[in-house]
Amino acid sequence: MWESKNIETNTIHGGKKSQGEFGTLSTPIYQTSTFVFDNVQQGAQRFAGEDGGHMYSRLGNPTVEELEARMALLEGTEAAAAFGSGMGAVSSAVLALLKAGDHLVTSHRLYGCTFALFNHQLPALGIEVSFVDLADEQALRAAIRPNTKVIYGETPINPCMTVIDLDTVAAIARQHDLTTVIDNTFMSPILQRPASHGIDLVLHSATKYLNGHGDVVAGILCGPGELIDRIKMTTRKDMGAVMSPHDAWLVIRGLKTLHLRMQRHGENGQLVAEYLQDHDAVEKVYYPGLPNHPGHALLGRQMRGAGGVMAFELKGSFEQAVAFINKLQMCKRAVSLGDAETLIQHPASMTHSTYEPEELAEAGISRTLIRLAVGLENAQDIVADLGQALSVAR
Ligand SMILES: Cc1ncc(COP(=O)(O)O)c(C=O)c1O
């Protein structure tokens, strides 16, 4: 397998197996549920793990494995596992790492369904969970108990873009022999590589930037070979959140332009954030590319760019925020991010509606907070659409 020292080249060529039997440039889609054995002995050897051959696509599929090899290379880990959704990756990871009586330390700010999983499903299984500010080193240290096994976070955090210092989290985890999991969805390996800061498992909703075209729901987990193999052969196999070969092919296609798309998302993001910050109808913009954002200090050391997602609050009422979103013409009212189209949504009633009102307040998500995932359009068109809609908020 060929590999470059440059990540831009690796998104195109890295991890690619030799061409298929017809010399195809594009990876073949092995759209099969099962694989034929020459004889009973061969089938038995494969199930015993003595022969690297395939058995059944829930256990492994060549197209999915090519995506896994590419993602491991891009994130700088030994291995990767693909899932049918980002939440499939989150649940398979934490349920492989935690059992009843164990304790998870996680962030008080998380994507809504991750929060729901940790706040409702894990405690129902007897797993203890503490929600703390992972950007606060003392709070993180204080949360660790004798039965703590895992630290789980996102950075930047959905939706206010709070940035967690990965070097600090990894150092604390090492002192206590804990496994770290970081959701890298908002950055992609182009802008941030958590494993290079000592993080064990790097997670993605591949639905977002990795695929980039708004036509797939998928997840990826990258990490040490032994742990990834264990997850593949336990929680992924037994709970079944596998990725289909066709979806894997779409994500492989998306990866080829990831570096160009991230560059454009970042340029557009910076321009739009500066426009919003200077607008007299806007109260506050949360974007790490702005010098007044607390996460700005980690640009360069941890993040190669600020990406395309930001949140902002208007000066007006909740009704004005709703009127503003409804008045947009080009920007699409939709959850998700990382697509070519600029997407706008209202976290309190959409992505973070799994939070109770007091939990929203604790997570800094007000009723007037709006999340914007800047797309790949000409930035002037995004600004013009925002500008005409902001007239209702003045
Ligand atoms: C940061 C983050 N992690 C995980 C997920 C879940 O991913 P999926 O929707 O692919 O299950 C999302 C979805 O929006 C997300 O924003």
pLDDT tens string 127-145: 999 999 999 999 999 999 9
Cβ-contact 84, 207 below 8 angstroms:
no
Q: What is the DSSP string of 46-107?
A: HHTT-S----BTTT--HHHHHHHHHHHHHHT-SEEEEESSHHHHHHHHHHHH--TT-EEEEE
Atom 10, ligand 1: which residue's CA is nearest? 86
Domains and CATH numbers, the chain: 7-30+61-255 (3.40.640.10), 258-393 (3.90.1150.10)
Q: Does the pLDDT at position 270 exceed 80? A: yes
pLDDT at 364 (0 to 100): 83
Q: Which tens digit of pLDDT belongs to each residue from 346-362? A: 998 898 888 888 888 88
Q: Does the pLDDT at position 164 exceed 70? A: yes
Give the 3-state secondary structure of residue 133: coil
In which element (H, E) is residue 91 found?
helix 86-97
Instruction: State the distance from the centre of ligand 1 to the C-alpha of 162, rounded, in angstroms.
Output: 16
- The residues that are catalytic are 58, 111, 183, 208
Give the 3-state secondary structure of residue 47: helix
Instruction: State the distance from the centre of ligand 1 to the C-alpha of 205, rounded, in angstroms.
Output: 5
Least confident residue range of 3-17, 20-34, 46-60, 153-167: 3-17
pLDDT at 359 (0 to 100): 86
Q: Which DSSP symbol is given to 34?
A: B
Mean local confidence (pLDDT), 53-77:
97
Tokens 């020292």 belong to which residue?
A: 5
Instruction: State the distance from the centre of ligand 1 to the C-alpha of 231, rounded, in angstroms.
Output: 19
In the Cβ-directed half-sphere of 64, how many Cα atoms lie within 13 Å?
Answer: 26
Dihedral sign of CA atoms 274, 350, 194, 139 in order: positive
pLDDT at 47 (0 to 100): 94
Q: Does the pLDDT at position 146 exceed 70? A: yes
Q: Which two tokens stand for residue 206?
A: 């591949």
Measured from the Cβ of residue 202, the count of other Cβ atoms closer than 10 Å reads: 27
Instruction: State the distance from the centre of ligand 1 to the C-alpha of 111, rounded, in angstroms.
Output: 7
Q: Which two tokens stand for residue 160?
A: 């206010």
Give the ligand 1 atom nearest the CA of 90: 4
Cβ-contact 326, 315 below 8 angstroms:
no
Residue 365 region, left (φ>0) first, then alpha (ψ -120 to 50), else beta? beta
Q: Which tens digit of pLDDT belongs to each residue from 318-355? A: 899 999 999 999 999 999 999 999 999 999 889 888 88
pLDDT at 236 (0 to 100): 98
Q: Which of 113, 164, 372 to mutate to test the pocket of ligand 1 (most atoms within 8 A of CB)?
A: 113
pLDDT at 18 (0 to 100): 60
C-alpha to C-alpha distance for 265 and 273, rounded to whole angstroms: 12
Give the ligand 1 atom nearest the CA of 87: 11
Atom 15, ligand 1: which residue's CA is nearest? 111
Lining residues, ligand 1, CB within 6 Å: 85-87, 111, 113-114, 154, 158, 183, 185, 205, 207, 217, 219
pLDDT at 348 (0 to 100): 87
* Average pLDDT taken over every residue of the chain: 95
pLDDT at 1 (0 to 100): 65
pLDDT at 355 (0 to 100): 84
Atom 11, ligand 1: which residue's CA is nearest? 86
pLDDT at 100 (0 to 100): 98
In the Cβ-directed half-sphere of 333, how many Cα atoms lie within 13 Å?
Answer: 13
